[in-house]
Amino acid sequence: MFGRLQRSEKITMNVALLLLAIIWVVPMVYLVSYSLEGDGGANYGDVLSLKQFPRFLMNSFIVSTSVVVLLLITVSLAAYGFSKLKFPGDASVFAICLIGLMIPPVAMLVPLFQTIKTFHWINTYMSLVGPEVAMVIPFSLLIARNAFDEIPNELLEAAEMDGSGAWGKFVNVILPLAVPVLTTVGILAFLNSWNQYLFPLVFINKEAMLTVTMAPKFFIKEYTSDYHKVFAALVLITIPIVILYIFGQKYMQRGLTSGAIK
């Protein structure tokens, strides 16, 4: 069991957290201040008036939402199987799934490109959704399975006595209790997908299919670049995910600590 923190330990922890906060806040302050230099607020107006910008926003929203939906379906079912439906070799299969945590996305870029090209997904939403879901499954499955392990088996046994099968126990018992961790998985997946730069850069060459992270490059020309507008675009891209985190941080804290204490 954890004991109460001493006063000196609380002060040390708060100072450390303050320093970490400063490290994160200073770049954001610089980003916003630099985006207001030159033409000031007009930089934001120029970004918003970019005719492709609404399309980029819609593409990012479609891709990120699709990633979240597919990921939650896949991870919730897989975590339920690994946690509550024991089968021969389940530990080995789970370990194989976690190998993805050790492989950086860049290392998978060439085989991913060949796969997407084979399926004729170039310049489609699936070229962004499929790889993104595959890349975030290992970590999402890890935290979801740990949370599912916390759910008492007695609840499932009681549901079975009431006539529920495997699917009924999943829908009526597991899912309602797994809302915090699944919300965490969804928020993290949305943030990661929204900020994705590599996949749109490699898999999309059609302007109408680009995502919002590609917007800054429209202000970087071959011989001249307006970096004030680039920074303004970066600020606008950041706003939706900051809002999402503010409203979802309560669930994220609960979800990330699920399975931490047995």
pLDDT of residue 102: 85
pLDDT per position as a tens digit, 75-123: 999 999 998 888 888 888 898 888 888 888 888 888 999 999 999 999 9
Structure tokens at 219: 């202000």
Q: 40 in the Ramachandran plot: left (φ > 0), alpha (ψ -120 to 50) or beta?
A: left
Q: Please name the residues in contact with 98: beta carbons below 8 A apart, sequence gap of 6 or more.
A: 138, 141, 142
- Indicate the residue type of 85: L
Q: What's the pLDDT tens digit per position in 194-208? A: 999 999 999 998 989
Cα pseudo-dihedral 81, 83, 88, 91, rounded to 10? 120
Domain definitions of the chain by residue range: 36-256
Give 51-79 pLDDT, tens digit per residue. Answer: 888 999 999 999 999 999 999 999 999 99
The neighbour count for residue 188, using CB atoms within 10 Å, is 21
Distance (Å, whole) CA 228 – CA 223: 16
CATH fold, domain 36-256, is MetI-like fold (1.10.3720)
pTM across the whole model: 0.84
Which tokens go with 233? 């675009």
CA dist 167 and 125 (Å) reads 31
Side chain identity at 245, as an amino acid letter? Y
Report the distance separating Cα 163 and Cα 256, nearest Å.
33
